[in-house]
Structure 1
């Protein structure tokens, strides 16, 4: 047995089904070991796409996704997707090859200090330099990546180490590390603080979905009547049909949800990370009373200074809070829910402007509650976050930690492999072409999901900010190929929609067992200087 064989045995023991990546000369032993295993190696078209696939797999399943790249440019190409997983709290294990140890002390072809390059981007990071440490290294990479709060880890395997003989057996995974129960004193303080509030509000963050606390949150809301607003990554923690849901922090015409947040005098933050939504937007100056419930203490930030920090498993904390609170706050902001939800579920007039906002009710109507929408980053993401009703946790995948463009197509592929439910990808023309080559990977794997590409020929969020600041924009315009012909060249069924009627027809015509693309031609953006 070689180290490469043992590494792959460890991957099998961890339950890994797919390793996404690109081959390299330094990976030869690992690749042939994978070929002889139950783990499927998926050659992608770019390492960034591989990292995004591992990222979304980890986010949807809670089990670390795995990406693989060679040394030098292979490793550096992984970095964006790995960093995205780290800030989005998605479990991911990155494995990179490296040259033989005999040349690592000096300048040599493609040799970079990859371990130090990854150091600020991951939770844990190591070079596998001792064959005897193989099983410990792989087990630690997965344990650290998956333990709350999850994130990315990295292991580098020099090619001479990969080929060395070794004996060993994978270390057993005895299940997730138990999360702490609520501290009685902190719990009593949280109950006292909440019961003293007139208009308390739950803020559901990424952690409310990530830790599978949605069921406990829904029971808590039933018991207390407390309304809920979510971050973009907390969508679906409570069903947006529920009259206590305000969707996200800035949902609704003229942000009806934001108005409710302003009126709230106490915020119960469940699994909230400030990287996913800056608290200065909803709590400037840190004036609101905040009860923080999470596995880790709150970040030190002037706009987020909790009165109480309840460091515990969110489900256990919500269950104890529900049992301990006697007060009821039924429907203090039902008017805001009605405004937000009616806008999100309106029926657009066929003659309305072709905008992302006007297409979303059509898309939502065509999708089952359990279907998954994977959003890229761009102006369309803001509309989806604010206006796309989500009814189940984890059914709307939005990156809002690193918020990197290009995640949607590889993310849709990963979602399709990981889940039985139908998958829809929503992307702008900017983000789409960053990793559009992964359509070939998807067709090769026989994936079936729908890609909706909003075409306006500009980097819209940047353009809007420039317009607001300077009255004009610069450096934001670009041209596109024929996106329908482009998709068809991969064997993908594609169509173009230039009206809401055409979009509705295209959505209705898509087959759930086929890979398809709908190009949506948005109404002309304002004239902007190139």
Structure 2
């Protein structure tokens, strides 16, 4: 094909060629009634994952984008098909995932006539996306697709929306120039800002380095760990930044904010500077930090919309990797404070010992109340699945254990995908399929509570059809454990309302109906056998579900109980 100019028989054939240009291996969605996109994809290598729910389709595209670093693509019909995506679009925006949502639309000539499924879709979706366009002329489609991807991947990544009205879908489209490069442009910060911030870093004696989700795919050369060593800085990630740095590094201390527990939490009280790389400093990332005026932050983000100015310090606009490389040169010969490095090492060792104690406490609780301790589930999972695994998480009561280092560790080779601050139920279970298709051959494990998994179960046939060997570990506490514990807090155990119940989940029968393997473990002694067998099955290319019976009393480490959105700390 002549790359400089080409005429496509329909708009959807142009979309299909643009997907080829992007290197998109899988598109997720539920097409509209016309099926024109599927027809255009028939003679290509691009897979279309036909989902049962449009929200889950966007979750899958988000997982694909986060894991691959490339745009995730979702295609749906019009009207209610578009509104069904909105929770997924909200999550993609909050997760800073470059997702391209393509939807059908009411024919232009019928707008305002009460046409079938007519909706002002641009007005509905605009508040949640970086950029939205309805293509009102066929010759403008190539430019719209190029611009959509450029907006999605540059600055702070995020979702974009392209609407193709039905009357344009079957028109010829001529592309008069090659498709534009789709890779994000990585910008180097202003030299004066680099010099200023390097001087502030050099003056700090007790620095902490915080690695956020904006650093994903920016540490292939392990420059972030080397920078931490240069500064003697304690190394933390946000939840979304996990998998970016080696968690077996001697300076790594765990996940910041809500997931930092004693004794490591003391480092945040003692630090005199935080260097935040690719973090927007959301509430969960800064939970438990000193008061805003007491701890200065140098914050590196790719877009000005991510800057946080409520704390003293300075913002740096630029690529994380380029910024760190520049600082490393400017700080060559820097001598870290040996006492601070020793303090970080001391606290890190104390955390490991305290984690062992917490696991034993969980064992004792399990003996009294029954169930399998989640810490033992995670330990057995770590033994069963290869070290280059990607753990895809939810954010419920029991599955939150996996956020707490070292109860779960990504090591040097592991990956992680988590929900954003929005924490929509079912995100992790659906996103895991997108992750698996983005990184074929890499082990993918989803850890989800039974409540979150219930919102994904409509996609079990999608999972079976996709042929992706994802291992689903479902922690069964009888329903919505976080909500139940909050209800118990305000109403006591005698409430006439309930979010949990001791009854079968029905997952065994559903798994069997779609040809998926199923195991259940209600005894800690069965974990190694069950998880090992399940992973061996998944490694052959077919998904499996492992349910584990857990109890509400097995609260994550450092939590004394629920208190609404956030828990009480052990010392509160």
In the superposition, the TM-score normalised over structure 2's length comes to 0.85
- Give the Å deviation of 1:524: 5.5
- After superposition, residues 365-404 of structure 1 pair within 5 angstroms as 365-387=383-405, 388-392=408-412, 395-404=415-424
**Deviations 1:303-323, CA, capped at 9 Å, x for gaps:** x42412222211121122223
Contact 1:233 1:276 in 2 (8 A): no
Indicate the SS of the match to 2:60: helix
Alpha-carbon distance in 1 for matches of 2:221, 2:355: 22
- 1:334 corresponding residue in structure 2: 345
Contact 1:51 1:82 in 2 (8 A): yes
Indicate the SS of the match to 1:502: helix
Alpha-carbon distance in 2 for matches of 1:343, 1:412: 31
1:435 and 2:456 matched: yes
1:482 and 2:490 matched: no
Q: Which moved more, 1:88-97 or 1:385-394?
A: 385-394
Contact 1:56 1:414 in 2 (8 A): yes
Residue 376 and residue 444 in structure 1: after superposition, are their counterparts in 2 closer, same or farther (change >3 A)?
same
Of the three residues 96, 102, 112, the one matched with 2:119 is 112
Indicate the SS of the match to 1:436: helix
- Give the Å deviation of 1:245: 0.6
Contact 1:3 1:134 in 2 (8 A): yes
Q: Which moved more, 1:270-279 or 1:468-477?
A: 468-477
- After superposition, residues 335-350 of structure 1 pair within 5 angstroms as 335-342=346-353
Alpha-carbon distance in 1 for matches of 2:306, 2:358: 42
Residue 195 and residue 469 in structure 1: after superposition, are their counterparts in 2 closer, same or farther (change >3 A)?
farther
Contact 2:52 2:462 in 1 (8 A): yes
Contact 1:252 1:341 in 2 (8 A): no
Structure 2 spans left out of the alignment, 5+ residues: 1-8, 367-371, 555-561, 563-572
Of the three residues 405, 418, 422, the one matched with 2:425 is 405
- After superposition, residues 458-477 of structure 1 pair within 5 angstroms as 458-468=479-489, 474-477=497-500
- 1:323 corresponding residue in structure 2: 329
Contact 1:416 1:449 in 2 (8 A): yes
Q: Which moved more, 1:510-519 or 1:61-70?
A: 510-519
Residue 259 and residue 24 in structure 1: after superposition, are their counterparts in 2 closer, same or farther (change >3 A)?
same
Indicate the SS of the match to 1:94: strand
- 1:16 corresponding residue in structure 2: 24
Alpha-carbon distance in 2 for matches of 1:170, 1:47: 33
- 2:531 corresponding residue in structure 1: 507
- 2:227 corresponding residue in structure 1: 220
1:516 and 2:536 matched: no
Residue 77 and residue 36 in structure 1: after superposition, are their counterparts in 2 closer, same or farther (change >3 A)?
same
Indicate the SS of the match to 1:256: coil
Contact 2:244 2:415 in 1 (8 A): no
**Deviations 1:260-283, CA, capped at 9 Å, x for gaps:** 212212111111113473535324
Residue 283 and residue 524 in structure 1: after superposition, are their counterparts in 2 closer, same or farther (change >3 A)?
closer
Residue 345 and residue 223 in structure 1: after superposition, are their counterparts in 2 closer, same or farther (change >3 A)?
farther
Alpha-carbon distance in 2 for matches of 1:344, 1:172: 52
**Deviations 1:414-444, CA, capped at 9 Å, x for gaps:** 1221212111111111110101122211211
Alpha-carbon distance in 2 for matches of 1:132, 1:162: 12
Alpha-carbon distance in 2 for matches of 1:209, 1:394: 13
- After superposition, residues 138-217 of structure 1 pair within 5 angstroms as 138-168=145-175, 171-212=178-219, 215-217=222-224
- 2:313 corresponding residue in structure 1: 307
Q: Which moved more, 1:206-215 or 1:234-243?
A: 206-215
Q: Which moved more, 1:252-261 or 1:320-329?
A: 252-261
- 2:559 corresponding residue in structure 1: none
Alpha-carbon distance in 2 for matches of 1:106, 1:255: 63
- 2:381 corresponding residue in structure 1: 363
Alpha-carbon distance in 2 for matches of 1:223, 1:377: 34
Contact 2:215 2:244 in 1 (8 A): yes
Contact 2:297 2:312 in 1 (8 A): yes
Q: Which moved more, 1:197-206 or 1:401-410?
A: 401-410
- Give the Å deviation of 1:13: 1.7
Indicate the SS of the match to 1:463: helix
Alpha-carbon distance in 1 for matches of 2:283, 2:357: 28
Indicate the SS of the match to 1:81: helix
**Deviations 1:320-339, CA, capped at 9 Å, x for gaps:** 22233313133331122123
Contact 1:256 1:340 in 2 (8 A): yes
Alpha-carbon distance in 2 for matches of 1:214, 1:373: 22
Alpha-carbon distance in 1 for matches of 2:231, 2:292: 28
- Give the Å deviation of 1:152: 0.3
Alpha-carbon distance in 2 for matches of 1:276, 1:392: 27
Alpha-carbon distance in 1 for matches of 2:358, 2:425: 30
Of the three residues 434, 443, 461, the one matched with 1:422 is 443
Q: Which moved more, 1:424-433 or 1:339-348?
A: 339-348
Contact 2:387 2:413 in 1 (8 A): no
Structure 1 spans left out of the alignment, 5+ residues: none
Q: Which moved more, 1:282-291 or 1:517-526?
A: 517-526
Alpha-carbon distance in 1 for matches of 2:313, 2:68: 33
- 1:445 corresponding residue in structure 2: 466
Alpha-carbon distance in 1 for matches of 2:530, 2:292: 47
Contact 1:454 1:521 in 2 (8 A): yes
- 1:493 corresponding residue in structure 2: 517
Of the three residues 26, 42, 46, the one matched with 2:49 is 42
Runs of 4+ more than 4 Å apart: 250-254, 298-302, 342-352, 466-475
